[in-house]
Structure 1
Amino acid sequence: MTSTLESPTRAGAASPSRYSTFMSRHSSLMPTFAAVVILVALLVGAQMRFSNFLTPGNLSALLLDNAYLLVLAVGMTFVILTGGIDLSVGSVMAFTGILGASLLSQGLPAVVVIPIVLAGGAAIGLVIGILVHYFDVQPFIASLAGLFLARGLAFVVSLASIRVEDPIVLWLQRTRLAVAGWYITPTGIIALLTVAIAFYVLHWTRFGRTVYAIGGGEQSARLMGLKVARTKILVYVISGVCGGLAGVLLTAYSGAGYPRNGIGTELDAIAAVVIGGTLLTGGTGYVLGSLIGVLVYGTIKKIISFMGAEQSWMQIIIGGILLVFVVVQRVIVARSQRRT
């Protein structure tokens, strides 16, 4: 009789345990799933409203028009996962874009110019990373200094737009690989490759695990013997390199470098990363979620273009969605704290 009474009790105790384990393992995916739902709802709603929205051409343009933003969002994901922030990426993109255009106009080949601009972005990221880690400067302040530095350097290079005529750079955007109405350009391929490499690094390497560990608790990561200093600096270097690469993609997309490019783009990148499910507190997030966030951003922008409405609605809608996702993130953090 005793064994009969004990068996249901054990089974009943096991059920909430399994539920709690499942929720603790998968609750971090909730914001990303929400972003996917929002993206699908936007696409379906736009198709019902305009009837010609879900065409291969429009969907292909979603990626290509926002390839530079996707690359910025990848770099921003690394930084935010450690609990930091990088406000310099828009200015780095402008600086590297105008620097590359200037060097190309002087006759330097693209195979030389592109590594130079990537190194320029990495150098600014290195400065920010050193300020954050070794001088204990808040990431907001350190990256704000990087923003002013990069923007100032962009104006030093040129105050006016510089047209790009290099065939290799123009090939990146003008070449289209088309299949059944769908198409992609080398800029889009580069952006997707950046996402794929970042996904591999974050989920399959020791460096990636260290990034997540630092976001989860820097002191704990130190006690575990992880290389915190190197990792914190490298994430800002990666963000700087992504800023430089975005400068190349934007220059290829627009056909010119301009020192005022990218004003406010750092906020767009942060919004895309947050909408994609990366917690601003660090330690939780996915680079594929950032891809979804960029597609949500691009879809809203295209819907507003179809409607012929003012671009101010873009900021209003993105702001509203961002507020919703911040609330969702706070709920997730509160639940995880209660479980611990």
Structure 2
Amino acid sequence: MSNARTLAESVPPAADLPESKQPQQVSRFSGLWERSQTLIPTLAALVLLFAMLIYAEIAYGRVFHAGTMSSLLVSFAPTIILAVGMTIVIISGGIDLSVGAVVAFTSVSGVMLMNIGVNGWLAMLLMIVFGAMFGLISGVMIQYFNVQPFIATLAMMFLARGLASILSTTPVIAPEDSPIMLLATDWKIIDGPKVNDFTVTPGLIIAVLVVLGGMFFMHRSRSGRTVYAIGGNESSAKLMGLPVARTRVWIYVVSGALAGLAAIVYTAEVGGKAQNVTGIGWELDAIAAVVIGGTLLTGGYGYVLGSIVGVFVLAALRLIITKDGTINPEYLTIITGGVLLVFVLLQRALTRRRAS
């Protein structure tokens, strides 16, 4: 009996059991707070976007009109496609400086193929394949030859731009009956008063599908989680048995393929005209949009949807400068650099806070 009484007294009372859940609740709240901190740059970009649009509406008017919004979306469809690919690359801890030059090469080569009689649909498919090949070379150099992503993609940038210049130094135009022209067809969604119609194009629909596909890939697939793991800690990803080598190569293949797709959409929007100077600086616009949207340049954190917000921030800046008419267009680069600097500093402050 004494042994039984001693055993009963050693059992903790039932009232103490809920207290054991407190550490779990604390860890849950701390994890939620940590995740919310990663969203701060994206939320800041969203606030900045709406602030600029409201200012433009008050100062110049006709900003929130359907026609203005549809024109803005259609014109930035290629940048949206590039930003999705760049987001995946930067989250993995890499960089891709070749996408602008790849757009030029694939655009020129695709139009020239159409002009010599190659089926238009096949030529567009080859444009995507050409872009993927540049990405494949970059990925192999980075993964298997230990070349820094900056150097590998810089080499591909010079190669693609040089090949585009060799193909043609003058603009080339696709045949009028080429199917690539269909991607610029206006589809009226809202029939507004006068010219205030909300229209979309197949090219814009392609950009939207790329965004949805990128979101699903990064947040709902095993490969997307592997990309985050590589960017967060590559050594840990290897120890976990994740396919690091294969995934890194595929990341650059996807980025190159999306550059080829962006070339198709852009070439259609400009009436089938392609030239070797197309895409100069587009890689920097894509990187700026990704960083403004909240993706860390060091990798491991970022959101595809945040990068799209970053694209719209750049679009709003361009819209304000265009509507004002008195601002020198060269100031767009200065303003973009200033905005980018602010968001980089914000990222650094949040990173240091998490590290401490």
Question: Does residue 54 of structure 1 match 2:72?
Answer: no
In the TM superposition, residue 291 of structure 1 has moved relative to its aligned partner by 0.8
Q: Deviations over 1:18-70 (max 9, x none)?
A: 65332112211111111111111011111110122211111111210111111
CA distance in structure 1 between the aligned counterparts of 2:336 and 2:94, rounded to whole angstroms = 22
1:83 to 2:101 alignment: no
Computing the radius of gyration over CA atoms, which structure comes out larger, 1 or 2?
2
- Structure 1 position 237 matched with structure 2 position 253: yes
1:291 to 277, 298, 308: 308
AA at the equivalent of 2:291:
V
Distance in 2 (CA, whole Å) between partners of 1:307 and 1:322 is 22
Aligned residues: 333
* 2:149 matched residue in structure 1: 139
Pick which of 41-50 and 169-178 moved more: 169-178
Question: How many angstroms does 1:85 deviate by?
Answer: 0.3
Maintained 8 Å contact 2:80/2:308: yes
* Separation in 2, partners of 1:184, 1:295: 16
Counterparts of 1:65-144 in structure 2, within 5 Å, are 65-144=75-154
Which residue in 2 is equivalent to 1:267? 284
Where in structure 1 are there 5+ consecutive unaligned residues? Answer: none
Aligned-pair CA distance for 1:17: 5.2
Aligned to 2:181: 170
TM-score by length of 1: 0.94
Are 2:45 and 1:45 aligned? no
Distance in 2 (CA, whole Å) between partners of 1:184 and 1:148 is 34
Counterpart amino acid of residue 320 in structure 1: G
**Residues 195-210 of structure 1 mapped to structure 2, 5 A cutoff:** 195-210=211-226
1:313 matched to 2:295: no
Q: Secondary structure at the match of 1:159?
A: coil
Quote the Cα distance in structure 2 between the aligned partners of 1:194 and 1:18: 33
Deviations 1:295-321 (A, max 9, x none): 111111111000112111111111111
What amino acid is the match of 1:65? S
Provide the identity percentage.
46
1:322 alignment partner in structure 2: 340
SS at match of 2:241: coil
In structure 2, the partner of 1:300 is 317
- What secondary structure does 1:95 align onto? helix
Q: Secondary structure at the match of 2:39?
A: helix
Alignment partner of 1:187 out of 203, 222, 226 = 203
> Residues of 1 paired with 2:21 and 2:156: CA distance?
58
Q: Give the TM-score of the pair, scaled to structure 2.
A: 0.89
Q: Secondary structure at the match of 1:225?
A: coil
CA contact under 8 A between 1:47 and 1:53: conserved in structure 2? yes
1:193 partner amino acid:
L
Q: Does the CA-based 8 Å contact 1:104-1:166 persist in structure 2? A: no
How many angstroms does 1:177 deviate by?
Answer: 3.0
8 Å contact from structure 1 (residues 110, 166) kept in 2: no
Report the RMSD for the aligned CA atoms in angstroms: 1.9
Structure 1 residues 166-222: Cα deviation after superposition (integer angstroms, max 9, x where no partner): 442112113323324211111100001000011111111110000000000100100
User: Could you say what secondary structure the match of 1:234 adopts?
Assistant: helix
Q: Is the alpha carbon distance of 1:14 and 1:239 closer, same or farther for their aligned partners in structure 2, counting shifts above 3 Å?
A: closer
Runs of 5+ unmatched residues, structure 2 = 1-12, 192-196
